[in-house]
Structure 1
Amino acid sequence: MRILKTCFSKSWGGLEIYSLTTILKLRERGLNPTLFSLKDAPITKEAKARHINTVTIDNAGYINPSGIKKTIALMKKENFDIIHCATSKDLWLVTPALKLARLNAPLLMTKHMGSYVVKKDLLHRFIYKRLDYALAISNVIAKNLVDTTPLNPDKIKLLHNGIDTKFFDPAKYDGNKVRSEFGIKDDELLIGMTARFSPGKGHEEFIEAAQILCKEYNNLKFIIVGKASRGEDDYEIEIKDAARQSGIGEKIIFTGFRKDIPDILAAMDIFVFPSHAEAFGIALIEAFSMAKPSVCSASDGVLDIAVNEATSLLFEKQSANDLASKLKRLIDDGYLREKLGANARQRAVEHFDIEIFTDKLIAIYKEALNEK
């Protein structure tokens, strides 16, 4: 099966990383995927470093006759069985190319983020009509597709993202390495979050909850892992300033970007996922896979992952008081921490493993081909 995976993004984040992960998993299964991306984009450089078959284009704007022409030539030459777009924006290049070239290959798109713009006008109906399936990474994204696009619900399929639960395996990591690095004592509980610095990720509530808890407990430390998104350095500065002014700055650790996320998670006693409106939550299932009890905002894609009182405790989003209250339960109850962590690991393995994702994706590809 020859697959063209498009990703015309200039950024480097979860969407781009997951696009490459998908390609690598398809290649492992004996399929033949090719990445179609922007010439100087980070994803292109990373793909070539991983020896992924890659073709590039200089730009991929909404109206791009030269890009459409190049896409037509590529598709005719390679005769792909499946075209799979990483974003809806990719359709503006791919749909006209398929139409003009009169090619019948199934067209799929993965929707990673919700949109607030309704796209049901004549032009968008043309762009989306050629689509065989839209893959939504969570139920909230599936609903968003129904609300904002001209797609029929029967063209929308739920396909949760996945992670390598054999890599994120608590049996393989010793949290003492990171705890020693940051001077965390044996009798201290380490509460942490992993997220890029971007408004809406919940850093403010995390710090406010830490302030509330430190009034009652003297054995807590808090760790914030990640760096600013492109163009959002000012937000990172604001959060670090808030931590310094909180009166508990010495108890809050900022690690910056880390590649050793399993080691970081192994060091944590409690994981916090305070995002205001997350489409899904890869960081959360990584924590689940590492058997971490968690406190999560009760909203959006989190509800596809976390099960209240079974894997996690859910709190009212943007409420530092409720977050602190739920954290207090876990701080006070070691048995509950252990139970939630074990359940979280089981849920990650049974529902969110990358091999499960790959099985389902290949099945969708085959279904799309059979319907042509």
Structure 2
Amino acid sequence: MRRALNVLQVCDHLGWEGSRMHGVKRLFSWMIPCFDREQFNVSLVSLRKKDLSEEPLEALGVNISYMERSKFDPLTLPALLRIIDQQQVDILHLHGYGATTFGRLAGAMRGIPTILHEHANLTDTPWFQKIADRVLEPYTDIAIAVSKSTANFVIGARQVPSSKVRVVYLGVPLVEFSRERTADEIVAARRDLGIAPDDFAIGTITRLHESKGNSYLVDAAARVAAERPAARFFLVGEGPLLADLQTQASALGLGDRFIFAGFRRDVAGTLSAFDLSVFPSLWEGTPLTAFETLAMGKPIVATDADGMVDILTDREDALIVPRRNADALADAIILAIDHPDERARLSATARITGAQYDIGVFVRKMERLYTLLHEVSRATRRRGVLQADLSFLTSGISA
């Protein structure tokens, strides 16, 4: 029996300034504790400063180090090498520009298998990142993308050959999110948000950043509120655009018909309070909140943003509208309000779709990948993994 493999997850940071709800942090909080601890010692390094949010990962038993380095600090490399040597790292799993740059450099210097894991589709990269990606491509064993559009970004902008790229969808803890809520739990969740019994609650849980398209939701809300008196909107989250969105809502006279609910720790409870979930996204990798919403069987209105249409199907488990179109968003919301049977059908199908995306399944895939890399990477100078059968990475879900 082989010894446990030492796997180091490396990320740039664990949150955006002004926001405590960050997908990568939540992913690590679900993912790392799921690994078989007899087979894998999984630890985490953040290149930036310590996470100061209310729920640090340390509280979940995650072994995490904070390097507190700035974005282009050359001392990041020797500091990362020290951690790699101290922990006798076997596999590097890298998330973010800084992590994939310094991490692949370290992997090249130590001969360690490396995984580039891309979570975003930013269309293009700066010239200096292109140079780094071109130089470091030979030291990339495999690249994982969270959606098809993200894979195209990895191949095009990040210059990783398509033969090395696989789309592997993430997931959520289904035990937590697929559980049926009792009537009392839903009443309590709605009361916590200030939702009256007769209100039709339309909600989104998000970061207040440009990519999330929340300004279009505010515009859509003005029309929906005027035409459907029971409709109230709840924007849950934090971010740098809060003041701008509040000003927009005020100018449209939305008042208490559009609530900025701030940070909510209990995502599942908050989702249970909504009658309809909305994703007005402009561009996405694939947001974890979409997997959560599907797992809970909530009716969904979403845009056709890249990443969203990877996991949602129009008129089956969601109503899909063109992005950057507030009128289309309003039309779909009104349709959902007016047709409870359609909401119920969307809800039932969403739950079926959501059952495909379990974080435990994702972790088992990573365990197989780590084992394979450990067995073949060094012996084949990083070519062996691509000669192996990697169908397990996409099994169960088409990619």
Residue 69 of structure 1 and its aligned partner are, at CA, apart by 2.9
Q: Quick one: distance in 1 between partners of 2:211 and 2:280?
A: 9
Residue 169 of structure 1 corresponds to 178
SS of residue paired to 2:80:
helix
**Does residue 318 of structure 2 align to residue 312 of structure 1?**
yes
CA distance in 1, matches of 2:205, 2:262: 10
| Per-residue deviation, 1:61 | 4.4
Segment drifting more, 340-349 vs 212-221: 212-221
Match of 2:154 in 1: 145
Letter in 2 for 1:134: A
Partner secondary structure for residue 270 of structure 2: helix
Quote the offset at 1:82 in angstroms: 0.8
Matched, 1:188 2:193: no
Q: In the alignment, does 2:1 pair up with 1:3? A: no
Tell me the equivalent position of 1:365: 370
Question: Using the alignment, how far apart are the partners of 1:220 and 1:24 within structure 2?
Answer: 40
Cα offset, 1:307, TM superposition? 0.9
- Give a deviation string over 1:250-291, Cα, whole Å, max 9, x none: 212221111122122111111100011111111122111111
Match of 2:220 among 199, 205, 209: 209
Q: Does the C-alpha gap of structure 1 residues 262 and 51 become closer, same or farther in structure 2, counting only changes over 3 Å?
A: closer
Q: Check if 1:126 corresponds to 2:135.
A: yes
Matching residue's letter, 1:22: M
How many pairs does the alignment contain? Answer: 363
If asked which structure has higher relative contact order (CA below 8 Å, sep 6+), I would say: 2
Is the CA contact 1:214–1:220 (under 8 Å) kept in the aligned structure 2? Answer: yes
Cα drift, residue 358 of structure 1: 1.0
> How many angstroms does 1:146 deviate by?
0.9
- Give the structure 2 partner of residue 88 of structure 1: 97
1:298 matched to 2:322? The reply is: no
Cα separation, 1, equivalents of 2:50 and 2:137: 26
* 2:60 is the alignment partner of 1:50: yes
* Residue correspondence of structure 1 range 182-331 to structure 2 within 5 A: 182-228=193-239, 232=240, 235-331=241-337
In 2 relative to 1, CA 57–238 (structure 1 residues): closer, same or farther, beyond 3 Å? closer
Q: Read off the aligned partner of 2:376 and give its amino acid letter.
A: E
Q: Percent identity?
A: 23
Q: Which amino acid aligns with 1:47?
A: L
SS of 1:365's equivalent in the other structure is: helix
| Structure 1 CA distance for aligned equivalents of residues 215 and 79 of structure 2 | 46
Question: TM-score, normalising length from structure 1?
Answer: 0.90
CA separation of 1:155 and 1:218: change in aligned 2, threshold 3 A: same
After TM superposition, give the deviation of residue 32 of structure 1 in Å: 0.5
Confirm whether residue 59 of structure 1 aligns to residue 63 of structure 2: no
1:287 and 1:322 mapped to 2: Cα distance?
Answer: 21
Distance 1:110 1:309 in 2: 31
Match of 2:125 among 114, 117, 128: 117
The yes-or-no answer on 1:337 pairing with 2:343 is yes
CA drift of 1:62 comes to 3.9
Cα distance, 1:346–1:323 mapped onto 2, change above 3 Å: same
Q: Deviations over 1:122-181 (max 9, x none)?
A: 543222220101110111000011111231111111111211121013513522113233
CA deviations on 1:1-50 (whole Å, 9 max, x unpaired) are 21011123263522233234322222567520122234732189923333
**C-alpha distance 170-213 of structure 1, shift in aligned 2 (>3 A):** farther
Rate the CA distance shift 1:317–1:371 in 2: closer, same or farther, 3 A.
same
Indicate if the aligned counterparts of 1:72 and 1:97 stay in contact, CA closer than 8 A: yes
Structure 2 length-normalised TM: 0.84
Question: 2: distance between equivalents of 1:47 and 1:250?
Answer: 35
Q: How far off is 1:309 after superposition?
A: 0.5
Assess if the C-alpha contact under 8 Å between 2:30 and 2:359 holds in 1.
no
More deviation, 141-150/174-183:
174-183
Q: Give structure 2 stretches of 5+ with no counterpart.
A: 17-21, 378-399
**Deviation string, structure 1 residues 300-321 (Cα, Å, up to 9, x no partner):** 0001111110100001101111
Map of 2:163 onto structure 1: 154
Is this contact kept in 2: 1:139–1:158, CA < 8 A?
Answer: yes
Q: Quick one: which of 50, 56, 70 aligns to 1:41? A: 50
Letter in 2 for 1:54: I
Q: Which runs of 5+ in 1 are unaligned?
A: none
Aligned residue type for 1:11: G
* Greater shift in the superposed pair: 47-56 or 359-368: 47-56
Q: What is the alpha-carbon root mean square deviation over aligned residues?
A: 2.3
